[in-house]
Every structure is written in structure tokens, then in C-alpha cells.
Chains A and B, each alone.
Chain A
Amino acid sequence: MRVPARVFADRELIGQIAADRSLEQLQNVATLPGITGAALAMPDIHQGYGFPVGGVAATEPPDGVVSPGGVGYDINCGVRLLALPLTLAELGRRAEALVHEISRRVPVGTGHGGALKLKGPAFDRVLVEGPRILLAEHGIGTAEDIEHTESEGRLAGADPAVVSERARIRGSDQLGTLGSGNHFLEVQRVAKVLDAQAAEAFGLREDQVTVLIHSGSRGFGHQVCSDYVRTMDRVQARYHISLPDRELACAPISSPEGQRYLAAMACAANFAWGNRAALAHRVRQSVAQILGPRVAEGTRQVYDVAHNVAKLETHHGRQLYVHRKGATRAFPAGSEEIPAVYRAVGQPVFIPGSMGTSSFVLVGRPGAMERSFGTTCHGAGRRMSRTGARRQITGAELRHQLEAQGIVVRCPSNRGLAEEAPFAYKDVERVVAVVERAGLAARVAQLAPVGVVKG
């Protein structure tokens, strides 16, 4: 190990974390050339492919490495929160119709095509510009949506020339599609405001209806990651890199392979922001259909955060590439990287709970800059495998349980539903409490599920 491995957790969570191989994987991350400070684990950490989900590693250019596995297959998987201009009471009996309409308009599942099919230069412009090109050329989203997106929905340095044809094929009909696995779209209500000042800044009030969108770069990002894991695996010896797990394949940031990966990763990140913009557009279309155009026009994007990305940032006076895999940037008040309207309180962070449980809106705190390269957790974190979850409950049983709680469920796959059973995840309230006590982020509001659309 070149640096220590450090875990943010309480006694109970560390017991759950120790049940899989994530701590061993974190130690492996600590061996990456050029890693600085410590290999960090958020309290929602769990075993991933090579690099644990919930892991953070900062490497220093030029000789420090960039690792596609340290970003993950679903590049810029992330979360976007929309706030509707009405309360749950005002939504009333139309809640089920709204969830149903969203499920009708949003394609779900692995590899399923969507309506927004772009090819050639039109597709490449999304890779370079992200959602701003969807606004300019397709009328999708608003200028405020872009302002309220991490990095304004565009990572610089994106170069479509370093993206494979196969990635293009996989991504060409996937803009505006949800995907499968733990991706979801949830209609919620603000159950409790916990920080009135920050909630007001974010435009959230108790009982307000919100929609949380969780998706990423789909097959496009997967192919980019696959392509560059293989590329870097082939050049390990050239850079005298020896790794405990081939999935950690990496190359110096300044190397041709490192630079090409960063340019391709930026394409995938911009694609993912475009995907969530297209999904938000379909949500607004659904809102217009069920609740009327005025409600759709008043539906604001609170923010959009990335979970899987490597970004060049300044920490402790040094320029570092911060790999976040299943972890969220959480910059505090005063950061120029966050929208001016939020700068007095800090960056919004969204922590989805498991299906049927609360999600949280957090705000970045100064401790994140001191202790975690400006990072906090990203979710509840899996504590049981998908197979394990399926052994304990069927999708039909879970559907009944959720509906008994008054939660509307739209999911074409009973198998996929069972895999996301709440008991397969850690307790999100405990996870959030840890990052709050560590001073990484603080709770702003608790969101309760009203209906869920799953892939």
C-alpha cells in the first residue's frame, strides 16, 4: 500500500462492510501509483469490480494514474432531482396516473432503445456538449437545468475520435432510457425539512412533490469503460505497473492511454447528463399530460450530481484527479463550482434510499474538503447480493408489500424488482448519519416514496 485505506463508518456499518471483499479491494486501491492522502471508503461501500463501490482515490498528475475501473462501467451514473410546484395533497388521486404515465413514456431495461435516436455528428455533439446541445437543437430541458447540473452538464476535453464505433452503436438509441439494475425513477414527497435555510435555497418545502431520476451512460459508458480497461491492461508492463486485480488496470494520467481515456470518459459523462436531461424531459411531458402544462413549466431541476467519474480538482493546494466510484462530490458553501443560487449554503447532494424507504437531500460541508477530497456517500449501499435478495423474496411479494405501503410500483421484471428489495441494502439513515457526524455533508430534507418506476 502506498497510502492508508480509510473508512467512514460506525460500528454496525463496519460489520456489514467487512462481510464482503470491499475492504480488501480498498487496500488494493491504496496500491495505485500516484495515489495521494488515503484510499477512502464512504459508509455505503460495497464490493465492486476491482475498485469498491463507494470508493474514492485522488491521484496526482503527471505520473499518477487514471483507472477506468476506478470510475466504473456506468460512467457518470448519477441522480437528478426535480421539484414540482405542488404538494402531495394537491396531487391527490392523480399520483398513480402520474407514475403510470412516466412508466409509459420512459423506456426501461438493458439495451432497450428510446425515442431520441441520434447518429453521426448529432450524436457526437451530445458527447462534446452534453445537455446544452439537446436544449439548443431539440428543445429538451431549460437553461436553468443546465446551470443546476454538476459541471453544468459538460466535462471539458471530450473527444469523440477516441470513442469506439461499438460504443456509438450501443449508445445511439439510448438517450432518454432508464436502464436496469438499481436505476429507477421515483415520485416522492418531502416528508421532513431538516435544514430550513438550505431547503429554502434549494426550493424545497414540506409535502412538496419531487421526482428523483437515477440513471447513467447506459451501454455507451459501459463500452467506453470496457474498451479502456482492455487498453490499459495491455500496457501495464510498459509503465512498470503491477496490480493486485486486473480490473484496476490504469495508466499514467500524462500517457497517451491515460489522456485518451479521460477524453472518452468525458464523452460518456456528457452523454449521461444528456440521458438524464432527456429523462427529465419525459417526466415533464408526463406531468403536462396528467397535471397540465402550467405544473410542467413550474417543475424545476434542483440539481444533478454524478456518482461515477474522475475529475481534475484542487485539494489541499494540489491539482488532483479525484476518482469517485459510487460517491458524490459534496462541495461546501462558497465554492465557485456550484451554482450561484446555492453558493451561500453549499452543493446539493441526493442520497437515494432503497426502494420503499426514504431518500435524503444533503448539502456539502467544509469537512468534505478537509477529509474526503470534497466527497460524500451516494446511496444506501448494497449489503446482500442480487441472488441473495432473490432467494429471500419474490418480485410479486415485494410488489404487494410496497403497494400495501401505498407506493405505486411499475416494473416489468419481477426478478429485477426482487433484486432491489430494501433488506438487500444498508440502512440509509445510518449511512447519512455517518457522513453528517464526519462533517462531510449535512441533512437538508427527507423524501418519502410515492411511486417508483424501475428497469
Chain B
Amino acid sequence: MEIVARTEEGVFADALHALAELLADDAGGELVWREVAVRGEERAALLVGWLDELVFLAETENLVPEEVGRLELSDHGVVATVRCRRGSPRHLVKGATYHRLAFERSGQGFRATVVLDV
């Protein structure tokens, strides 16, 4: 997964959208909001934790993430509300890895690379 965004928060939001494309179904089920929180300081590890949280929601509650509501990124971690839809997500992704992991400034924004275990 390669993400380029203008802000660090944008990287997290775009990662959610990219993962949603992999998980999405056409079920159009119940709308559910979930709070997702990952502790830590370092951005790359936080991004892995963020994706793992979303994969876990899909695997255990059949929730497909759709959109980020509020997202706060600080030196202590990331806290966000995520709009999900209950459905039958494709269980293609088992988790995010640290393999070739990167999160860095690039031009006017940020670039991140995460390899997913599928």
C-alpha cells in the first residue's frame, strides 16, 4: 500500500480508504460508528496499528470501514471515530507488517508504504 497525502492525518484517512477497497462488499448493511485508538509515537508503527485495528473489526465484527469522522493524531497516538457498515467483508487481509515500512515527508506532504499480509 503506497499512500501520498498532504498531511499525516490524511495518510491515515487514505489508508482506511485503500483498505476499504480491499474489504468492501455490496451488502449495504447497518451503519456502525466505532472509536479506534492506537497508542504510540512513531508514525509508521502507528499506521500499522491503525490498519490492524480496522482488519480486526472486519474479521471479528464483519465491519467494513467507510469513512473517518474525527481523527486526532498526537505524540501519544491516534484516536478516531470510524464509520463502518456491517456486511460480509472479503477476508483478504490478515494484517499489516513492518516489512519495508516507511512513513516520511515527501515534497509538500507525506508518503507512506505498508506491506499487507494477504
CB-based contact A49/B117 at 8 Å: yes
A245–B95 touching, CB < 8 Å: no
A246 and B101 contact, CB distance less than 8 A = yes
Q: Is the CB of B99 within 8 A of A49?
A: yes
> In the bound complex, do residue A230 and residue B45 qualify as a contact, i.e. CB atoms below 8 Å apart?
yes
Assuming the A-B contacts A112-B91, A226-B52, A233-B45, are A245 and B100 also in contact, with contact meaning beta carbons closer than 8 angstroms in the complex? yes
Q: A42 to chain B: closest CB distance in Å?
A: 20
A110-B91, A222-B117, A386-B118 are known contacts. Are A246 and B60 too (CB-CB below 8 A)?
Answer: no
A-B contact pairs, 13 of them (CB 8 A): A49-B98, A50-B98, A50-B99, A73-B94, A73-B117, A170-B56, A180-B91, A219-B59, A222-B117, A229-B98, A245-B98, A245-B99, A386-B118
- Cα A223 to Cα B56 in complex, Å, equals 10
A sample of 12 more A-B contacts (CB under 8 A), given A170-B60, A229-B98, A246-B98, is: A50-B99, A73-B94, A73-B97, A110-B92, A110-B94, A112-B91, A170-B59, A223-B95, A226-B52, A229-B97, A245-B98, A247-B98
Residues 168-220 of A at the B interface (beta carbon under 8 Å):
169-170, 180-181, 219
Among the interface residues A49, A73, A245, A386, which one has the most CB atoms of the partner chain B within 10 A? A49
Bound: A282/B117 CA distance, A: 28
Interface residues of B in 62-107 (CB under 8 A from A): 91-92, 94-95, 97-101
- Chain A hits for B97, CB < 8 A: 49-50, 73, 229, 247
For the complex, is B5 an interface residue (Cβ under 8 Å from A)?
no
Q: Which residues of A contact B (CB under 8 A)?
A: 49-50, 69, 73, 109-112, 166, 169-170, 180-181, 219, 222-223, 226, 229-230, 233, 245-247, 249, 386
A168 to B56, CA, bound (A): 12
Verify A110–B98 contact, CB threshold 8 A: no
Task: List, in ascending order, chain A residues with CB within 8 A of B36's CB.
Answer: none
Contact A247 B45 (CB under 8 A): no
A109, A112, A169, A226: the one contacting B95 at CB < 8 Å is: A226
The answer to whether A169 and B60 touch across the interface, beta carbons within 8 angstroms, is yes
Bound state CA distance, A160 and B100, in angstroms? 31
Q: Does B99 lie within 8 Å of A247, measured CB to CB? A: yes
Which residue from chain B places its CB closest to the CB of A386 in the assembled complex?
Answer: B118
Interface size on B, residues (CB 8 A): 19
Taking CB atoms, residues of chain A closer than 8 Å to B48 are 230
- Bound form: Cα–Cα A131–B115 in Å: 34
Q: Is the Cβ of A49 less than 8 Å from the Cβ of B94?
A: no
List the B residue with the shortest CB-CB distance to A112: B91
Contacts of B117 in A (CB 8 A): 49, 73, 222
Task: Give Cα A47 to B99, complex, Å.
Answer: 11
Whole-angstrom CA separation of A109 from B52 in the bound complex: 19
Q: How far is the CA of A440 from the CA of B56 in the complex (A)?
A: 41
Kindly state the separation between the CA atoms of A163 and B99 in the bound complex, as whole angstroms: 23
Q: Within the complex, which residue of B59, B95, B100 is in contact with A73, where a contact is CB–CB below 8 Å?
A: B95
Q: How far is the CB of B102 from chain A (nearest CB, A)?
A: 10
Closest Cβ neighbor of A25 among chain B residues: B99
Which residues of B have CB within 8 Å of A169? 60
A50 to B99, CA, bound (A): 6
In chain B, what residue has the closest Cβ to A226? B95
Q: Is the CB of A249 within 8 A of B60?
A: no
In the assembled complex, the Cα of A73 lies from the Cα of B96 at a distance in Å of 11
The answer to whether A219 and B115 touch across the interface, beta carbons within 8 angstroms, is no
Which of B95, B98, B101 has most A Cβ within 10 Å? B98
- Contact partners of B99 in chain A: CB under 8 A: 49-50, 245-247
A110: chain B residues within 8 A (beta carbon): 59, 91-92, 94
Contacting residues, chain B, for A247 (C-beta < 8 A): 97-101
* Residues on B with beta carbons closer than 8 Å to the beta carbon of A226: 52, 95
Closest 5 CB pairs of A and B: A110-B91, A246-B98, A49-B99, A247-B99, A111-B91
Q: How far is the CB of B85 from chain A (nearest CB, A)?
A: 17
CA distance A226 to B97 in the complex (A): 8
B-side contacts of A111, CB under 8 Å: 59-60, 91
Q: How far is the CB of B65 from chain A (nearest CB, A)?
A: 16
Cα separation A414 to B60 with both chains bound (whole Å): 24
Is A222 a contact of B95 with CB atoms below 8 Å? yes
Distance from A69 Cβ to chain B, minimum over Cβ atoms (Å): 8
The answer for the CA separation of A109 and B95 in the assembled complex, in Å, is: 15
